[in-house]
Amino acid sequence: MVKNRLIILPLIWFLLISLFIAMFVLFKSDVLSIVVCAIGIIVKLTERVWEHYHYHEISIKIQTIQNHAERELTTEVIKELQELINKRREIPVLEINIIHKIKAKQYSSSYEETS
């Protein structure tokens, strides 16, 4: 899943740039008027790409901790993992969060046992 994000992020930028080039060609306007008309779209897409990047960073940290936790499971590791999962939950995503569905129950029960 983390590797897919490395592909999706540049793809989003490519689609965004392609959209504005198509608008420029189709409407035969100057670039400034297209940017002014589409400023809301630009801001929202840039915000989504930024959130996507942060989600990717947190996912890498979670995956690293999960790999470590499989070898040595301590209360500190579980607490740190739960904090990262909570951070990742706050970030809006446009896809199904498969890792969360698979691992959340297991790590949540481990966290409740230590609390």
User: Angle CA(81)–CA(86)–CA(89) in degrees, nearest 5?
Assistant: 125
Residue-number span of the structural domain to which 53 is assigned: 2-114
Taking the model in full, what pTM does it have? 0.56
**Cα dihedral: 78, 83, 86, 88 (round 10):** -100
**Cβ(104)–Cβ(85) below 8 Å:** yes
Rounded Cα distance, 75 and 56, in Å:
25
Rounded Cα distance, 52 and 58, in Å:
10
pLDDT tens digits for 63-77? 888 887 777 778 888
Q: How many domains does the chain have?
A: 1
pLDDT tens digits for 26-61? 877 777 777 777 788 778 877 877 887 888 889 888
